[in-house]
Amino acid sequence: MSSHSDFILANARVVLADAVIERGWVAVAGGRIAEVGEGRPPGPAEDLAGDLLIPGLVELHTDHIEAHYVPRPKVHWDPMAAVVSYDAQLATSGITTVLDSVRIWREAGIQEVDGQHDVLSDAIAAAKEADLLRADHFLHLRCEVPMPDIIADTEKMIGRREVRLISLMDHTPGQRQFRDETKLRAYYRGKKGGLTDPELDEMFAVRRRYQAAHAEPNRRGLVELAKRRGVPLASHDDTVSEHVSEAIEDEAPSANFPPPQRRPRLCTPPASRC
């Protein structure tokens, strides 16, 4: 090993692509792994006392940033502070590259993080510019297909160089994740501070109208937009075989929460589009 190593980590369970070195060491030089070995390290080293030493994890879908920005109903935290706190939790979980999932979704009467994708994306960019982030951050646009303004809202976001993935969602009552409407009602009663059944009836009726009027043309428009911009697509909550066939038709090679019969293909690390 050359003498210009920045540091050596030793006495670790080093996880490689095809093996685990039980008493391994890793030398780092110039910010890169220079050498990996087993047994006694070739110089002074930090003793990891048998801990696992693994490659950084890549997280393709997390909307946990929203819980930091809106920690409880009607409470909005400072967006920059929310991003920094969220980033710290990612780093302590071993995640070094993350696709921050932001909802492209505006809906009247919903007081949460819907329609806040620009606020969160700007805060992530500002934190990155200020060198406050530990992980590498990119964007995953979660597009609610039935929403009337979804294509226009997505067009405003898709030009950002951080965008690496678009997923096509449909949370209409009776569809996909919420085929059982009672589960959706329970979700909103708990998460939205106790909406009443009449309020939910009105919300669900609007969503069904949106789905009937906009879902199909919006899906086609989003697929075309993603292809034109070279952004990979993912389906979301495929539940029946028709959903899988639709995703194949859309050339969406990966799935968020796929059914057992679907084998998702993960994207390559987002240094370049996959």
Q: Which domain holds residue 41?
A: 7-53
In a domain, 263, yes or no: no
- How does pLDDT run along the chain (274 residues), one tens digit per residue? 444 559 999 999 999 989 999 999 999 998 889 999 999 999 999 999 999 999 999 998 888 898 899 887 778 899 999 999 999 999 999 999 999 999 888 765 555 556 688 899 999 999 999 999 999 999 999 999 999 999 999 999 998 999 999 999 888 876 776 677 777 777 777 665 567 788 888 888 888 999 999 989 999 999 999 999 999 998 877 766 777 777 777 777 777 666 555 444 444 444 434 3
In a domain, 220, yes or no: yes
What's the predicted TM-score (pTM) here?
A: 0.77
Listed residue (174, 196, 194) closest to 183, CA to CA: 174
Residues 35 and 138 placed together within one structural domain of the fold: no
Residues 234 and 123 placed together within one structural domain of the fold: yes
Do residues 151 and 219 make contact, with C-beta atoms less than 8 angstroms apart?
A: no
Residues 170 and 189 placed together within one structural domain of the fold: yes
CA distance 254 to 242: 16
Residues 158 and 36 placed together within one structural domain of the fold: no
Residues 16 and 95 placed together within one structural domain of the fold: no
Reported as half-sphere exposure (CB side, CA atoms, 13 A), residue 121 has a value of 24
Strand pairing category for 52-53 and 254-256? unpaired
In a domain, 271, yes or no: no
What total number of domains does the chain contain?
A: 2
> In 48-133, at which residue ranges do the beta strands (DSSP E only) sit?
52-53, 57-62, 95-104
Residues 93 and 27 placed together within one structural domain of the fold: no
> In 67-226, at which residue ranges do the beta strands (DSSP E only) sit?
95-104, 136-144, 163-169
